[in-house]
């Protein structure tokens, strides 16, 4: 009974936080204050179902990055943003906004190339260039990498490992890149299980932004919490507590 009561309280906290999105605006917001950060942590303090990874590829994007940050912060959640290096060069302020909001910043290559098709050293340079760009803008080096289109092989994995990166794919594809609507994205997220990772995009898709509150409420109802993706045994990606 106690666990059930805690879960109801957590669902209520998340719902209250995400209610602020009813008057949603894409205008930039300041970095979270310590009080806001504590409130977000409290909303996800009890996670009997385990942790899942929320991920957004291809940003930063002026049409969606700040909106996603606002939505995630309203729900007290964190996500991993896989950064397209050229976009970071064009919008360094948005990359810094992701960092200031407490999101995890990861590598998604410089130009979103088909790494398994371009050969070496081109594939390695794609990853290394993005790594250098992100480090120059944020002062931090990513530890995670996602190959564009999920295309990988032994050489790509070796390139990432040389740069100290753990390759991250996904277990659930939201299909937002393929025109999925908000409810389709939410339904895809309902298929997440403990340790799962969902692929979404910071690609200017309003449906993806609109899905955030419902995804968070759905996770809370199932006792799942947004977690942090890290390197596990053998260098494989695992999802843990933030």
Could you list the active site residues? 57, 201
Q: Is the peptide bond before 174 cis (omega within 30 degrees of 0)?
A: no
Cβ atoms < 10 Å from Cβ of 164: 12
Four-residue CA torsion sign, 38, 42, 46, 50: negative
What lies within 8 Å, CB to CB, of 119 at 6+ separation is none
Alpha-carbon distances, residue 222 vs 63, 169, 214, 241 (angstroms): 31, 23, 12, 16
Q: Which of 71, 11, 4, 41 is nearest to 220 (CA)?
A: 11
Q: Are strands 228-231 and 237-240 parallel, antiparallel or unpaired?
A: antiparallel
**Residue 112, SS3?**
coil
Q: Around 135, how many Cα atoms within 13 Å sit in the side-chain half-sphere?
A: 11
Residue 169 and residue 146 in contact, taking contact as beta carbons nearer than 8 Å: yes
Residue 134 and residue 83 in contact, taking contact as beta carbons nearer than 8 Å: yes
């Amino acid at each position: 009974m106690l666990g059930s009561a805690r879960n109801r309280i957590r669902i209520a906290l998340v719902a209250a936080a995400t209610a602020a999105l009813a008057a949603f605006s894409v205008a930039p917001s300041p970095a979270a204050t310590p009080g806001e950060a504590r409130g977000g942590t409290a909303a996800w303090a009890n996670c009997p179902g385990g942790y899942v990874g929320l991920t957004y590829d291809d940003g930063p994007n002026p049409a969606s990055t700040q909106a996603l940050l606002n939505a995630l912060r309203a729900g007290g959640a964190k996500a991993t943003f896989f950064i397209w290096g050229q976009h970071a060069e064009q919008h360094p302020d948005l990359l810094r906004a992701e960092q200031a909001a407490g999101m995890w910043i990861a590598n998604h290559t410089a130009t979103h190339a088909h790494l398994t098709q371009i050969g070496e050293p081109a594939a390695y340079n794609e990853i290394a260039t993005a790594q250098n760009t992100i480090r120059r803008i944020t002062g931090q080096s990513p530890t995670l990498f996602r190959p564009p289109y999920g295309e990988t092989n032994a050489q790509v994995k070796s390139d990432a490992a040389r740069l100290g990166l753990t390759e991250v794919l996904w277990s659930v594809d939201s299909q937002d890149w393929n025109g999925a609507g908000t409810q389709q994205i939410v339904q895809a997220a309902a298929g997440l299980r403990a340790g799962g990772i969902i692929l979404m995009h910071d690609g200017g898709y309003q449906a993806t932004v609109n899905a955030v509150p419902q995804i968070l409420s759905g996770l809370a109802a199932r006792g799942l919490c947004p977690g942090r993706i890290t390197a596990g045994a053998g260098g494989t990606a695992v999802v843990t507590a933030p």
